[in-house]
């Protein structure tokens, strides 16, 4: 019988050995159940071909051709990625709606002797659970925001807090973006749905009765929009400020943005949109520092002439509850460790 799940926690505790997503690679790339492997019943091209036959010829012809393609593809998977599994293996299979693709795939696995089953409603069931958790059901978690000017090593401090037993969510890590104009990383960002899946999974791992520390963000991280319920909690959450001297922040940014510094042409390109905001003379000054290879001075100028002013305006414009401040005189490894110790002590009192 297809497996039914009432909530994300139940689905994540499914108890099967392997979750197999048999949708096309394009569907899988956009979003999938975290931890699932992709063994397509139909490739991208085959899915398009069967869909065209369904619309232009007949449903019967589409099913007949689709069945032959699925059978060949499953045979390839059995002889390839699945060849090493013994008779005790239990896979959980899903497709888009929990219908023909997953049913056919699971049926072949069952005939071999594996205890395969499917998810009732397929990916659409899973996606509804994620959507409800992110947009409908109030988030039960108690959040505290780690706030501060650009360059105060907030993301690095989050992970040091995790090492000290504090619950965290790294939104920038999940979004594959450092949350600023210059913050893109190699490989680009996940799809919105994929981000929401990862976020929902991370939240499901946490104890809602304990504080969870999240870096203060705007409602978008790069092109990713923070879902309604996490943003509602963040908007109302109290904050801890991290402060550090401008020189320490500049030195840290040079370290943290080493990948951007290594590609001056890309850095120059990313600065161009700020001409409309800061003016040509200011951006020309930044480019002169870039051309001279003085990246510490460039980081200092970017913060002094752009990021700090933007942060000060946003802070002045909003009502924020502050729980305390941790000051780091340096933001090298030792300085970050000291700041993380101070943050952990402060959080333990809340």
93 counts as catalytic? no
- 225: which 2 tokens? 């929009």
Burial degree of 240 (CB within 10 A; 0-12, 13-18, 19+): buried
The Cα 260–Cα 240 span in angstroms is 29
Looking at residue 229, what is its pLDDT?
97
Can you give the pLDDT at residue 326?
A: 97
CA angle 221, 151, 285 (to 5 degrees): 95
CA distance 13 to 153: 35
Per-residue pLDDT of the chain (350 residues; tens, 9 = 90+): 899 999 998 999 999 999 999 999 999 999 999 999 999 999 999 999 999 999 999 989 998 998 999 999 999 999 999 999 999 999 999 999 988 899 999 999 999 999 999 999 999 999 999 999 999 999 999 999 999 999 999 999 999 999 999 999 999 999 999 877 777 787 889 999 999 999 999 999 999 999 999 999 999 999 999 999 999 999 999 999 999 999 999 999 998 888 888 889 988 998 998 999 899 999 999 999 999 999 999 999 999 999 898 888 877 767 789 999 999 999 999 999 999 999 999 999 99
Tokens of 306: 């752009």
CA-nearest of 94, 44, 38, 28 to 52 is 44
**In what helix (H) or strand (E) does residue 90 lie, and over which residues does it extend?**
none
Give CA–CA dist 149/66, Å, rounded: 56
CB 41 within 8 A of CB 22: yes
pLDDT (0 to 100) of residue 258? 86
Residue tagged active-site, from 42, 53, 95, 175: 95
pLDDT at 317: 66
Per-residue burial over 5-19, b if 16 or more Cβ lie within 10 Å, else e, is beebeebbebebebb
What is the reported pLDDT for 243?
Answer: 97
Residues in the chain: 350
């Amino acid at each position: 019988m297809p497996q039914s799940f009432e909530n994300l926690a139940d689905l994540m505790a499914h108890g099967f050995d392997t979750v197999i997503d048999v949708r096309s690679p394009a569907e899988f790339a956009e979003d999938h159940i975290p931890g699932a492997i992709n063994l397509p019943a139909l490739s991208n091209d085959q899915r398009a071909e069967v869909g065209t036959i369904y619309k232009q010829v007949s449903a019967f012809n589409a099913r007949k051709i689709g069945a032959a393609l699925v059978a060949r593809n499953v045979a390839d998977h059995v002889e390839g990625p699945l060849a090493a599994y013994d008779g005790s293996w239990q896979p959980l299979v899903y497709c888009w709606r929990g219908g023909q693709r997953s049913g056919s795939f699971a049926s072949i696995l069952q005939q071999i002797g594996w205890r395969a089953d499917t998810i009732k409603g397929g990916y659409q069931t899973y996606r509804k659970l994620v959507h409800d958790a992110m947009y409908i059901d109030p988030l039960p978690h108690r959040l505290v925001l780690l706030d501060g000017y650009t360059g105060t090593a907030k993301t690095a401090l989050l992970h040091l807090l995790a090492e000290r037993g504090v619950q965290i969510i790294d939104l920038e890590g999940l979004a594959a973006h450092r949350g600023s104009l210059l913050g893109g990383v190699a490989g680009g960002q996940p799809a919105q749905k994929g981000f929401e899946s990862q976020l929902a999974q991370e939240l499901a791992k946490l104890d809602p009765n304990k504080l969870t520390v999240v870096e203060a963000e705007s409602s978008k991280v790069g092109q990713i929009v923070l879902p309604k319920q996490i943003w509602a909690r963040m908007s109302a959450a109290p904050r801890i400020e991290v402060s550090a001297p401008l020189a320490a922040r500049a030195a840290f940014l040079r370290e943290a943005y080493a990948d951007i510094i290594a590609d001056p042409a890309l850095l120059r390109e990313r600065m161009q949109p700020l001409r409309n905001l800061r003016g040509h003379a200011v951006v020309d000054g930044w480019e002169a520092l870039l051309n001279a290879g003085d990246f510490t001075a460039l980081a200092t100028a970017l913060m002094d002439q752009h990021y700090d002013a933007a942060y000060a305006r946003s802070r002045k414009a909003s009502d924020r509850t502050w729980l305390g401040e941790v000051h780091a005189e340096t933001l090298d490894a030792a300085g970050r460790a000291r700041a993380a110790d101070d943050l952990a002590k402060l959080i333990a009192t809340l």
